[in-house]
Structure 1
């Protein structure tokens, strides 16, 4: 079982320290969320900096809101980051759903799923080295091994089915009690599509480990970030794990479901959480 770290967004200038400490520790990946209308660092730019400051740990978007982006440029950015990190980049994708962010880019929130499918067809075409069209040539650079690993974050069946059509695996942000059914659905769609092997399964759990100030800081960050969802924000905050025993239990539980990795998402910028988490793994 691999364990990764979801990075906090409150203090972007501290993330190089987070990355270097994680690179020297027992962690496999560093994940960073995406949002447009919010006070967070842009993930592709940030992960490029973190990849340059590390030598071993993987970097991944968790998740990048692809429908907000122009696909040809996204393909070039992802391939560049994949090449410059030595193949350590994972492109985690989702559709989003906040109408204000689609308004900013002139997009249509109602067709975000269809747009993502269209984008994936183009991304795969570009990464394969094929011409962009009959009139326009290829867009480089070529990524490592045909393209970065692509994971999809999803809940609804049509979105879960997208893992089998376009992806390499699934990012599960659901609690342990709900994750099993989502894993089963993804595996079912994978088998129906005739895909070889198994989809990569990555779970996400919100954590805060440390003094009361660290826990309070993390809880406040979650409540603010998910504030648009009303009661949902309180539910997410209440589900945050704050003890070594709870974190160990969650890692074990997701392992029993067949997860390949668990991302422990840290909402507080207290970097000493990395040392505390490393001690309990």
Structure 2
């Protein structure tokens, strides 16, 4: 019988998902075979549409939790989202977690989607839970908008976990007050992880909740040196650079990094020449150049080196306060040697 690690997660179609959505089927089966507790799905508006992928992942697995981390609350009507979550919950036998995030403000603005506020996320979470309890919500007038009637089924009594991908202190505190899981971002050094965990747990306690019942997930880039060098470059330098493209100011402020480094990165002609997300579009030469722009300190907030060293680094995250750890940025096949070492180190 395969040993299971409920404390470990991974992402399906990690990053840009360049192998296409069908790769999810093998990755989900393989992740369950290796013993992972949770498979996460992030949404990108290309071929990574969350509801389709979660249905596929639930259908080809039997034990593993399937979670979104994240989709956006404001790109679907509340009834659509609540119906989707209930469908996944029942399809999977209770193995689905609905995770949301604020999204990237610049992208939302470009597409004409209003920015997401903390009050909206809290209101939305409360509406979801009321719908899952079978309530009729009449004349709702709150941060998520006005709705004459919101209603699914009077026989519903669903216990569906809600997760929040959180960055700043307000989001972290909201996660502690209202959500069941809080998923942190990749490339958080230990001091950032400890601070984030403390913020979540304190908010839970102040809200009268059991802090231990709110699970905080570290999202740890895990890229062993058993992978080809080009792949490692894309999964480390390319991935961090893509985050800096999208929300670099937030990354730098959260980690107390030097903003001058970010400005030089943004102004670099190689960076500006990449037609899209760096982790998906940059070639090896471009990645090698971009690597010279990023301090070792920034890239060190990851599990790298031998599989044994990666496994030990994963275990360090628990010492910094994480309840669970996502081995981020690699496929289950790529993570297999690290999971084997993790099991041996137990």
Matched, 1:84 2:146: no
Partner residue of 1:57? 64
Distance 1:35 1:58 in 2: 21
| SS across alignment from 1:194 | coil
Distance 1:161 1:24 in 2: 35
> Where in structure 2 are the equivalents of 1:125-204 lying within 5 Å?
125-133=130-138, 136=149, 138-140=151-153, 146-173=158-185, 174-196=188-210, 198=212, 199-204=214-219
| Aligned equivalent of 1:5, options 2, 10, 15 | 10
| SS across alignment from 2:34 | coil
Shift of 1:215: 1.0
The alpha-carbon distance between structure 1 residues 205 and 140, as it changes in their structure 2 partners (threshold 3 A), is: farther
Shift of 1:225: 3.4
Distance 2:161 2:333 in 1: 30
Greater gyration radius: 2
Distance 1:238 1:255 in 2: 17
Distance 1:150 1:252 in 2: 25
Work out which structure has the larger RCO, using CA pairs closer than 8 Å and 6 or more positions apart in sequence. 1
Matched, 1:278 2:339: yes
| Aligned equivalent of 2:221, options 206, 211, 218 | 206
Asked whether the equivalents of residues 314 and 325 of structure 2 are also in contact (C-alpha less than 8 Å), the reply is yes
Asked whether the equivalents of residues 221 and 236 of structure 2 are also in contact (C-alpha less than 8 Å), the reply is no
Asked whether the equivalents of residues 89 and 96 of structure 2 are also in contact (C-alpha less than 8 Å), the reply is yes
Distance 2:153 2:113 in 1: 26
- What TM-score, normalized by structure 2, do the two folds share? 0.71
Structure 2: gaps (5+ residues):
140-147, 249-261, 266-277, 279-293
Shift of 1:126: 0.6
Distance 2:66 2:154 in 1: 19
Distance 2:336 2:236 in 1: 20
Shift of 1:100: 2.5
Distance 2:69 2:50 in 1: 9
Distance 2:90 2:299 in 1: 37
- What TM-score, normalized by structure 1, do the two folds share? 0.85
The alpha-carbon distance between structure 1 residues 55 and 279, as it changes in their structure 2 partners (threshold 3 A), is: same
**Which deviates the most, 241-250 or 146-155?**
241-250
The alpha-carbon distance between structure 1 residues 223 and 16, as it changes in their structure 2 partners (threshold 3 A), is: same
RMSD between aligned alpha carbons? 2.7
Distance 1:197 1:238 in 2: 29
> Where in structure 2 are the equivalents of 1:211-230 lying within 5 Å?
211-219=228-236, 221-222=238-239, 225-226=242-243, 227-229=245-247
| SS across alignment from 1:34 | coil
> Where in structure 2 are the equivalents of 1:58-73 lying within 5 Å?
58-73=65-80
Distance 1:186 1:16 in 2: 34
